[in-house]
Amino acid sequence: MSAEDQIRETIGSNDVVLFMKGTKSMPQCGFSSRVAGVLNFMGVEFADINVLEDPEIRQGIKEFSDWPTIPQLYVKGEFVGGCDIITEMTLSGELDQLFDSKGVTYNKDAADKIREANA
């Protein structure tokens, strides 16, 4: 199976996918850690794909999304963005709205706490 097919399969079979450096429990870069930390804190169930384990996936996801950096978040098959975009969406409440519109379960109180801590 090609890297593109693996990516398509992963995104299609999971509601929320984070392509990252490391894993959700052991991130290996600050940007991946920030996005995984937000998702973990908000109680979002997500598949974590460690791009450091497979150079073809690491390069393939950049080509697939036409986005040059890792991490990359997908929700219900749709590319959402990288660290800066997810941070902005979290603080503005847009990430909550996206999860609500896509039927993704998350802890609203935790999301509010993130915003309060960064106000």
* Cis peptide leading into residue 55 (ω within 30°): no
pTM for the full predicted model: 0.96
What average pLDDT does the segment 28-33 reach? 97
Which CATH number fits the domain that encloses residue 82?
3.40.30.10
- With cut-offs at 50, 70 and 90, classify the pLDDT of residue 1: confident
- With cut-offs at 50, 70 and 90, classify the pLDDT of residue 119: confident
Could you report the per-residue pLDDT of 54-99, keeping only the tens digit for each? 999 999 999 999 999 999 999 999 999 999 999 999 999 999 999 9
17 vs 119: which has the higher pLDDT: 17
What pLDDT is recorded for position 15? 98
**pLDDT reading at 48 higher than 90:** yes
CA distance 119 to 110: 14
Residue 81 φ then ψ, to 5°: 155, -170
Please tell me the total count of domains within the chain: 1
What pLDDT is recorded for position 40? 97
| Residue 118, in any domain of the structure | no
CA distance 97 to 45: 17
Domain range for residue 91? 3-113
| Residue 119, in any domain of the structure | no
Pairing of strands 72-75, 78-81: antiparallel
| Residue 34, in any domain of the structure | yes
What pLDDT is recorded for position 14? 98
Radius of gyration of the chain (CA): 14
| Residue 25, in any domain of the structure | yes
